[in-house]
């Protein structure tokens, strides 16, 4: 128990420190390459912070536990929007650019609809997995091509001087990413051991600690980005991570081990919640507010608090269901 408590404390401390270094590196690379922090957040940060979900889901697929693989991916998506983006907005309102509303979020909604379609028969075949990976490649290509058309190297250079050299930016990006993933794993390991020692069931651990734990890199990096005023990075991180989870994480797991029998609860409970939160994110980002920076919208503290309350309600329902009280 003492070792587990120590693992939680060390993991949390390293997680917070590495998140700041990771954001520094990501912003530095973005400015050097002449692309927006939104794109870096979606691609680099989104991929990096989704690494825990990829590892957990791949291992779950190999061990023939499809519900854990899917629950981890979709549960992390719910946590990303409701808990992480919500909590980040409470700390510092998150600005949403017009391009996010009319390019990135529609792509995410289409991807979510595709996820519902491919699991409608309560199975995810290897062919479904290949299709998910193909859709992921198309979505990333659309984003990258669109970004290149909008941002040239010259335009990016005019915005602001690079605070870090490319070498230092890459160093902090890679080191921060490595420590983010490692510290989140250490934190989850300690928390699971403590929960088991207290007699908490494996199912309840999977629904709560694993889903939230694999989202800790997103939480740490998003809050760090928001505190530094890089809300584009925080928002892009969430959108990118959800794309990675829905397409890449589930796709890889299905290719490794087809999921032939999936609980109907995922289709009637978790996916609808994920879809509803994605739609709300789009609505909150609509251009109701305008300013000189061309922002399309903003996730205010009130909206962030609403997201957090929704997540607490969802988590409470999961706990009550797991303990047989509903």
The CATH number assigned to the domain holding 288 equals 1.20.1420.30
Contact 71, 211 (CB under 8 A): yes
- pLDDT > 60? residue 130: yes
Task: Determine the Cα–Cα distance for residues 133 and 158; give it in Å rounded to an integer.
Answer: 37
The three-class DSSP label of residue 111 is helix
Task: Determine the Cα–Cα distance for residues 125 and 131; give it in Å rounded to an integer.
Answer: 10
- pLDDT > 60? residue 206: no
CA separation, residue 121 to residues 115, 133, 251, 314 (Å): 11, 19, 16, 24
Contact 269, 134 (CB under 8 A): no
Q: Which two tokens stand for residue 176?
A: 């921060």
Task: Determine the Cα–Cα distance for residues 81 and 257; give it in Å rounded to an integer.
Answer: 28
* CB hemisphere CA count around 115 (13 angstroms): 30
Chain mean pLDDT for the chain? 78
Confidence of residue 160 (pLDDT cuts 50, 70, 90): very low
Write down the pLDDT at residue 276: 96
Partners of residue 95 on adjacent β-strands: 298
User: Looking at residues 260-283, what average pLDDT do you find?
Assistant: 89
- pLDDT > 50? residue 162: no
- pLDDT > 80? residue 288: no
The three-class DSSP label of residue 125 is coil
Write down the pLDDT at residue 179: 82
Confidence of residue 127 (pLDDT cuts 50, 70, 90): very high
Burial label, 225 (beta-carbon count in 10 A; 0-12, 13-18, 19+) = buried
Write down the pLDDT at residue 49: 62
pLDDT, one tens digit per residue, over 172-195 is 878 877 887 787 677 667 776 776
pLDDT, one tens digit per residue, over 234-245 is 788 788 889 988
- pLDDT > 60? residue 295: no
* CB hemisphere CA count around 194 (13 angstroms): 15
**Number of independent structural domains in the chain:** 1
Distance of alpha carbon 221 from the chain centroid: 10
Q: For 48-57, 96-105, 262-271, which range has the lowest pLDDT when averaged over its residues?
A: 48-57
Task: Determine the Cα–Cα distance for residues 322 and 19; give it in Å rounded to an integer.
Answer: 33
Q: Which two tokens stand for residue 279?
A: 């739609």
Task: Determine the Cα–Cα distance for residues 15 and 185; give it in Å rounded to an integer.
Answer: 10
- pLDDT > 90? residue 132: yes
Write down the pLDDT at residue 312: 93
H helix intervals, 119-230: 126-150, 153-159, 166-197, 202-205, 211-213, 216-227
Most distant pair of Cα atoms in the chain: their distance: 60
Q: For 70-79, 188-197, 272-281, which range has the lowest pLDDT when averaged over its residues?
A: 188-197
Q: Which has the higher per-residue pLDDT, 302 or 72?
A: 302
Which residues, other chains included, contact 142 with Cβ-Cβ below 8 Å and sequence gap of 6+? 103, 107
Give backbone dihedrals phi and psi of 325, rounded to 5 degrees, phi first. Answer: -95, -5
What H or E segment, with its residue span, contains residue 13? Answer: helix 2-33
Domain that holds residue 137: 2-322
Q: Which has the higher per-residue pLDDT, 283 or 158?
A: 283
Write down the pLDDT at residue 140: 82
Share of the chain above pLDDT 90, in %: 19
pTM of the predicted structure, to 2 decimals: 0.76
Among the listed residues 200, 275, 309, 249, the one whose alpha carbon sits nearest the alpha carbon of residue 72: 249
Task: Determine the Cα–Cα distance for residues 323 and 326; give it in Å rounded to an integer.
Answer: 8
Task: Determine the Cα–Cα distance for residues 210 and 200; give it in Å rounded to an integer.
Answer: 13
Winning range, highest mean pLDDT, from 135-144, 214-223, 291-300: 135-144
Contact 294, 232 (CB under 8 A): no
Task: Determine the Cα–Cα distance for residues 222 and 298; give it in Å rounded to an integer.
Answer: 15
């Amino acid at each position: 128990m003492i070792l587990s408590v120590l693992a939680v404390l060390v993991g949390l401390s390293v997680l917070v420190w590495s998140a700041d270094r990771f954001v520094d590196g990501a912003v530095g690379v973005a400015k050097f390459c002449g692309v927006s922090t939104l794109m870096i957040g979606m691609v680099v940060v989104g991929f990096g912070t989704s690494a825990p979900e990829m590892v957990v889901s791949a291992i779950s697929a190999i061990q023939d536990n499809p519900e854990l693989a899917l629950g981890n991916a979709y549960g992390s998506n719910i946590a990303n929007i409701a808990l992480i983006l919500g909590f980040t907005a409470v700390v510092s309102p998150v600005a949403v650019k017009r391009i996010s509303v009319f390019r990135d979020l529609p792509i995410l909604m289409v991807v979510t609809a595709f996820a519902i379609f491919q699991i409608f028969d309560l199975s995810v075949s290897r062919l479904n997995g290949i299709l998910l990976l193909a859709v992921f490649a198309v979505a990333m290509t659309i984003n990258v091509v669109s970004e290149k058309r909008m941002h040239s190297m010259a335009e990016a250079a005019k915005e602001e001087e690079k605070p870090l050299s490319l070498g230092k930016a890459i160093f902090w990006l890679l080191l921060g990413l490595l420590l983010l993933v490692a510290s989140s794993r250490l934190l989850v390991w300690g928390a699971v051991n403590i929960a088991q020692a207290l007699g908490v069931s494996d199912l309840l651990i999977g629904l709560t600690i694993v889903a939230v734990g694999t989202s800790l890199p997103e939480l740490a990096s998003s809050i760090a980005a928001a505190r530094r005023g890089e809300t584009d990075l925080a928002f892009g991180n969430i959108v990118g991570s959800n794309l990675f989870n829905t397409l890449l994480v589930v796709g890889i797991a299905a290719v490794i081990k087809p999921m032939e029998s999936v609980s109907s609860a995922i289709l009637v409970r978790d996916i609808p919640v994920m879809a509803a939160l994605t739609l709300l994110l789009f609505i909150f980002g609509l251009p109701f507010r305008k300013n000189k920076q061309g922002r399309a919208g903003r996730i205010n503290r009130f909206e962030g608090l609403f997201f957090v309350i929704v997540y607490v309600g969802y988590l409470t329902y999961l706990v009550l269901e797991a303990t047989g009280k509903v």
